[in-house]
Amino acid sequence: MTIVPAGSFGWLALHELRLAFRSRATRGAARWIGYLLLAGWLVIGCLTGWALRHTPIPVPPEAMIGVLAVSVLGLTFMTAQAMIGSQRTLYERGDLPLLLSAPIPGRSVLLAKLLGIAATIALTYAALLLPIVLPVAILGHPRLLGLVALLIALALVAAALGLALTLAIARLVGPRAARTVGQVVAAVLGGALFLVTQLLPHDEGRTGTFAALFDRLRAARIGTSGISALPGHAALGDPFAILVVLGVGVAAFAAAGATLERAFLSGFLDGSATVSRSRPSGRASGRLFHTGLTRTVFAKEWTLLVRDPALAFQIVLRLIYLVPLFLGLVGGRHALPIPAALAFASVLITSQLVGSFAWLTVSAEDAPDLLSVAPVARAQVDRAKLLAAFAMAAPFALLFPIAIGVQTLAGAAITLVMTVLGGGAAGYIELKLGKPGKRGAFNKRRSGSIVAGILSLLVALVFGGGAAGLVFLVSGGIAVP
């Protein structure tokens, strides 16, 4: 921190990089598990590098297309991550008032913040990539260092795009809705490409949608020639391609700094403003007061969920990641009949949803002390919360048994029972093993309790498998053409 003058852009950038590094750090057992995994990954990288040190690495067209596909996929994930980072910077991080009240140009603050976001993104992927790439590159294939340049370029572009999108959303929908809409857009962006690949038509006899996608790209010469081949060439060490991708990254970064300063400052000021409006409803207060603990807890949990649509959307959006599993069950040569597959999906989806909602209601309680000082047994409150979580997942839990009921009523009944059991077990696991956290940290909830995550999955598989098997038996293996 002493090499560069205090208060300069470089000094501020180093400060942001330090924060980015520290934000990746974990504590306790998770830290040591992280170190252990990283060390293991590095050992695999070193062994791979040693094994390949005298072996030329072939570069088929598929590799070039693969780099392009991974770059595009990575860029969407990174942009979603950058949007979340931008929202935190503008609306949550406490140091922006300090920085903007200091005698430092606003543009320096913006660029430093942008660099911090880019560094956070790059570090996420570097932990996966570098332990393998660096040993292989150092031990005999230095051209692979181009992957590092590609990663940096992608992170810079994503940071610029993420901030621009966040500010555009704030301009379009206003500061009050900007956070919610921004989170929804980020979630959709994160899952969009994945969903698109699932919706592509499958070729006869092919099980992998990515394989079909590769065939299409190869036929159109996308990724192997022209501009679309630049990521591939850069990743494989072509100096010109490296210069171009890095140039694009730096240009996007600089352009964001040059054009977004005013929007950034006004976005920060709008975000700091009071976000609630005073709107006395004029209705009688009595409508809100209920008899009985369960109704009271229900009302509170539902109100909190409805008032956080971004979070509710995030939970439901996670179901997208279950689509390939379902397609695998109903497609291919060893496909399950539709009712059995639906029974499995019903349990899997409901247990996932109940687990997520139970985390929200039980572990992400905003005022745990209030419940502790209230004259109610904790178990009673927890039961009411679990019931609320179940009710939140109920629309999805009922959907599949109804669909199965069209073909087999017994199958529908079995599915309903197994779904309730699976969902109940998932909620109970959350109740007993869930670690407290803030509602906004929904995506990180599983990092608090790995055991709960594994058990929830086991429950879904056991009850889902049971449901599928029983429905298969009662429906006599009905297959739908």
Between residues 273 and 451, which has the closer beta carbon with respect to another protein? 273
Instruction: Tell me the closest approach of the beta carbon of residue 85 to another protein, in angstroms.
Output: 22
Burial of 341 (0-12, 13-18, 19+ CB in 10 A): buried
Could you give the CA distance from residue 298 to residue 125 in angstroms, rounded to a whole number?
41
Would residue 480 be called left, alpha or beta, if left means φ above 0 and alpha means ψ between -120 and 50 degrees?
beta
Q: Which of 48, 197, 198, 296 binds another protein (CB under 8 A)?
A: 296
Between residues 287 and 333, which has the closer beta carbon with respect to another protein? 287
Between residues 205 and 375, which has the closer beta carbon with respect to another protein? 375
Q: Which of 155, 297, 347, 421 binds another protein (CB under 8 A)?
A: 297
Stretch in the footprint of another protein (CB under 8 A) among 41-49, 109-117, 272-280, 341-349:
272-280
Task: Quote the distance between the C-alpha of residue 275 and its chain's center.
Answer: 26
**CA-based nearest residue to 118, from 155, 76, 80, 162:** 155
Instruction: Tell me the closest approach of the beta carbon of residue 271 to another protein, in angstroms.
Output: 12
Instruction: Tell me the closest approach of the beta carbon of residue 362 to another protein, in angstroms.
Output: 15
Instruction: Tell me the closest approach of the beta carbon of residue 439 to another protein, in angstroms.
Output: 9
Burial of 186 (0-12, 13-18, 19+ CB in 10 A): buried
Residue 3 lies near another protein (rule: CB under 8 A): no
Instruction: Tell me the closest approach of the beta carbon of residue 282 to another protein, in angstroms.
Output: 9
| Angle at alpha carbon of residue 151, lines to 444 and 197, rounded to 5° | 65
Between residues 139 and 387, which has the closer beta carbon with respect to another protein? 387
159 within 8 A of 117, measured Cβ to Cβ = yes
Interactions with another protein, residue window 367-426 (CB under 8 A): 367, 369-377
Between residues 92 and 215, which has the closer beta carbon with respect to another protein? 92
Between residues 307 and 444, which has the closer beta carbon with respect to another protein? 307
427 within 8 A of 355, measured Cβ to Cβ = yes
Query: Helical H runs in 88-145?
Result: 96-101, 106-138
Q: Which of 201, 280, 395, 476 binds another protein (CB under 8 A)?
A: 280
Instruction: Tell me the closest approach of the beta carbon of residue 171 to another protein, in angstroms.
Output: 21
The string of DSSP codes covering 39-72 is HHHHHHHHHHHHHTTTSPPP--HHHHHHHHHHHH
Could you give the CA distance from residue 146 to residue 236 in angstroms, rounded to a whole number?
6
Stretch in the footprint of another protein (CB under 8 A) among 78-86, 158-166, 190-198, 291-299:
291-299
Interactions with another protein, residue window 303-322 (CB under 8 A): 303-304, 307-308
Between residues 199 and 373, which has the closer beta carbon with respect to another protein? 373
Q: Which of 59, 123, 173, 299 binds another protein (CB under 8 A)?
A: 299
Interactions with another protein, residue window 159-188 (CB under 8 A): none
Q: Which of 24, 107, 202, 300 binds another protein (CB under 8 A)?
A: 300
Interactions with another protein, residue window 181-240 (CB under 8 A): none
Could you give the CA distance from residue 471 to residue 481 in angstroms, rounded to a whole number?
18
Could you give the CA distance from residue 275 to residue 176 in angstroms, rounded to a whole number?
6
Number of residues interacting with another protein: please give it, by CB under 8 A: 37
Could you give the CA distance from residue 168 to residue 263 in angstroms, rounded to a whole number?
9
Q: Which of 274, 334, 379, 481 binds another protein (CB under 8 A)?
A: 274
Counting Cα atoms < 13 Å in the Cβ hemisphere of 460 gives 21
* Chain contacts with another protein (rule: CB under 8 A): 274-281, 284-286, 288-293, 295-297, 299-300, 303-304, 307-308, 366-367, 369-377
